[in-house]
Chains A and B, each alone.
Chain A
Amino acid sequence: MDKIDAIVVGGGLAGLSAAYRLADAGRQVILLERGDAPGSKNVTGGRVYVDPIRPYLPGIIDSAPFERHVVREMITVLDEGSALQFEYGNERWKKEPFMSHTVLRAKLDGWLAEQATAKGAFIIPRKKVDELLYEDGQVAGIRSGTEEIGAHVVIAADGALSFLTQKAGLRQPHRPENLAVAVKEIYQLDEKTIEERFGLGPDEGLAGLFMGSVTRGMFGGGFLYTNRDTLSVGLVVGIDSLIHGAGDIDAPGLMEGFTGRPEVERWIRGGELREYSAHVISEAGIGAAPKLYRGGMLVAGDAAGFALNLGLTVRGMEFAIASGVMAADTAVLALNENDLSENSLSRYEKRLRESFVLPDMETFRHSREVLDRRRFFTVYPRFMCELFDELFTVGDRPKEGLYKTAKRVAKKYVLNMETLKDLLAARRL
């Protein structure tokens, strides 16, 4: 079979970064994307942190079509009928270089596809890859429908569900406890309204996090990001939590309840719903990551399980871009040496270990099992809300001393063995 240098499966950030890099190195590369265009099947929360990826896309990342740079973080802790909200802002975040930006994937991925095409990568949309082809036990191309394309190396960047890694024997079937589902809505509002409503300057953005009763005690939380003239609003819930803890509520109902909360509705009021999307997110950390390579094949981005949920920060896109570039660099090296064996491609993992990708995944190896403690989503939010409720309430009886109040509420919720256990567990975070 005739072979081109490389096939990249999937036009997300990992695949596009890989194609860009391969083309930049003068290699023939075809990227196959099942949607109408790169980005059309992709969903982010979303915000991207720039510093980790700048070295991987030198020169171009600053021209990316970001929405707004984040200058404020807003956290809302919700109980039934009450909420505690606080913000962190920093004047430094208002000055360049900006730390993070809100993004929309159709735009961002479309831009990266243009960059890759300009370097000479062939991007073919509306092509779903069905199978891998093998030769002497090594991956040697792909089959899409009846069409077969041979390649010296296949980079699987086919997203969180990644059927290719499973077909290649690199990972076990997905399990409900390893993934969360994100449901997201896009609301259109004009720029001025967004800036006035959130107290933002031009180009400035806000990232919001919601935790507590919005997930009915289930593992997960809500998010809100201000884009240029839209808001991204969504909810993330562990799939196993949904199975076991849902009871009378389904995923669409949870979402409806979330956006119906006054603490959320106040932000999206008057906005026009434009899109309703859903996507799964790997939540298991490095523990459930697939094997990252085999002869003739490398795995990057969500397909490799590269996503990290630390509660306050949720990251995936930086890992996608960095791993895509490193997969490409490994492929280029292997192509130069004419050695696409498993041993040769194992240098991909070594690169990942020397970068931030695998060390971050390792450091936060236990984040899911720590965060997946029901009390984080039930008892603590309620404790915080009730504490403030009692402190602010003035009734007809003499008011108790503040310390006494705090101690009484703390005793009710957190001064116990269970909290101690949670604290001990949190040391692993």
Chain B
Amino acid sequence: MKVEEKLALNAIKNDTKSHILLDQSICAACKERMCIAVCPAHLYSFNEETGEMVVEYAGCLECGTCMIACIYGSITWDYPGGEFGVQYRYG
């Protein structure tokens, strides 16, 4: 099963604004792009056309791994506001 299909099973209420912000000037200089590999929800991708990193905050599992893995400090990460984000029904 694709990770997108797995994410679709979760109860998530999405905010209209992202709780994850990227500093594209830092991302532009990054060769490793570890955010892509470490995110369990596979939310990060590199847009070849714009040359920018993209993060699909909507499926976020709120683990914070990306923020910890990005040692260059490009990722500004906060929890989604109350009422928003993933709501685990099992946990």
Distance, CA A230 to CA B69, complexed state (A) = 31
B91 with A105: CB separation less than 8 A: yes
- A230–B81 Cα distance when bound, in Å, is 30
Residues of the B chain whose Cβ atoms lie less than 8 Å from the Cβ of A125: 82
Contact A41 B37 (CB under 8 A): no
Q: Which of A43, A232, A278 contacts B65 (CB 8 A)?
A: A278
B8 to chain A, nearest CB (A): 9
In contact, B65 and A250 (Cβ under 8 angstroms): no
Contacts of B1 in A (CB 8 A): 256, 273
Partner of B32, one of A40, A243, A278: A243
In Å, the complex CA distance between A105 and B89 comes to 8
Q: Give the residues in chain A near B67, CB-CB below 8 Å.
A: 174
| B interface residues, tally (CB under 8 Å) | 37
Known: A230-B90, A255-B40. A126 touches B83 (CB 8 A): yes
Known contacts A41-B62, A242-B34, A243-B32; decide if A250 and B42 are in contact (CB<8 Å).
yes
Q: Which residues of A contact B29 (CB under 8 A)?
A: none
> What are the residues of chain B within 8 A of A273 when measuring CB–CB?
1, 6, 9
A274 touching B9 by the CB < 8 A rule? Answer: yes
A427 at the interface (CB under 8 A from B): no
Residue B24, interface by CB 8 Å = no
Instruction: Select B82's contact among A34, A186, A232, A278, beta carbons within 8 Å.
Output: A34
Residues of chain A lying within 8 A (CB to CB) of residue B36? 250
- Give the nearest-CB partner of A179 in chain B: B68
CB distance from B22 to the nearest CB of A (A): 17
Q: Tell whether, in the assembled complex, residue A278 and residue B61 are in contact, meaning their CB atoms are under 8 Å apart.
A: yes
* CB-contact partner of A44 in B10, B39, B89, B91, under 8 A: B91
Residue interface mask A149-170, B partner, CB < 8 A = 1: 0000000000011010000000
Q: Which residues of A contact B10 (CB under 8 A)?
A: 275-277
Instruction: Bits for A85-121, please: 1 = Cβ < 8 Å to B, else 0.
Output: 0000000000000000000111001000000000000
Chain A 119-132, CB-CB to B under 8 Å as 1, else 0, gives 00000011110000
A252 & B40 in contact (Cβ 8 Å cutoff): yes
A30-44: which residues lie under 8 A (CB-CB) from chain B? 34-36, 39-44
Residues 121-149 of A, flagged 1 when their CB comes within 8 A of B and 0 if not, give 00001111000000000000000110000
- Say what secondary structure dominates the interface of chain B: loop
Query: In the bound complex, how far is the Cα of B90 from the Cα of A186, in angstroms?
Result: 8
| A194-249 interface (Cβ within 8 A of B) | 230, 232, 239, 242-243, 246, 249
Q: B1 to chain A: closest CB distance in Å?
A: 7
Given A251-B39, A276-B9, is A239 in contact with B89 using a C-beta cutoff of 8 Å? no
Write the nearest CB–CB distance from B44 to chain A, whole angstroms.
Answer: 9
Bound Cα distance A234, B65 (Å): 16
On whether the beta carbons of A239 and B69 are closer than 8 Å, the reply is: yes
* In the assembled complex, B20 has its CB within 8 A of some CB on chain A: no
Instruction: Let me know if A300 is at the binding interface, CB within 8 A.
Output: no
List A contacts of B87 (CB < 8 A): 35-36, 40-41
The answer to the question of A397 belonging to the interface, with a C-beta cut-off of 8 Å to chain B, is no
Q: Residue of A at shortest CB range from B40?
A: A278
A90→B22 CA distance, assembly (Å): 52
> A43–B88 contact, CB under 8 A?
yes
Per-position 1/0 for B15-59, Cβ under 8 A of A? 000000000000000001010111111100000000000000000
How many Å lie between the Cα of A278 and that of B87 in the bound state? 12
**B38 — nearest CB in chain A belongs to which residue?**
A242
A275 touches B88 (CB 8 A): yes
The contact string, 1 if C-beta is below 8 Å from chain A, for chain B 58-91, is 0001111101110100000011111101111111
In the bound complex, residues from chain B placing their C-beta under 8 Å from that of A279 are: 61, 63
Docked complex Cα distance between A42 and B86 (Å):
10
**Can you show 16 pairs from A to B with CB atoms below 8 A apart?**
A35-B85, A40-B87, A41-B86, A106-B88, A109-B91, A125-B82, A126-B82, A128-B81, A179-B65, A181-B38, A239-B65, A242-B65, A250-B42, A251-B38, A275-B10, A279-B63
**Known pairs A36-B87, A181-B40, A278-B63 / 12 extra A-B pairs, C-beta < 8 Å:** A34-B85, A43-B88, A127-B82, A185-B6, A232-B90, A242-B38, A251-B42, A256-B1, A256-B3, A274-B89, A277-B88, A278-B41
Residues of chain B whose beta carbon lies under 8 Å from any beta carbon of chain A: 1, 3, 6-7, 9-10, 32, 34, 36-42, 61-65, 67-69, 71, 78-83, 85-91
The 7 closest A-B pairs by CB, nearest first: A105-B91, A126-B82, A276-B6, A278-B40, A278-B63, A252-B3, A278-B61
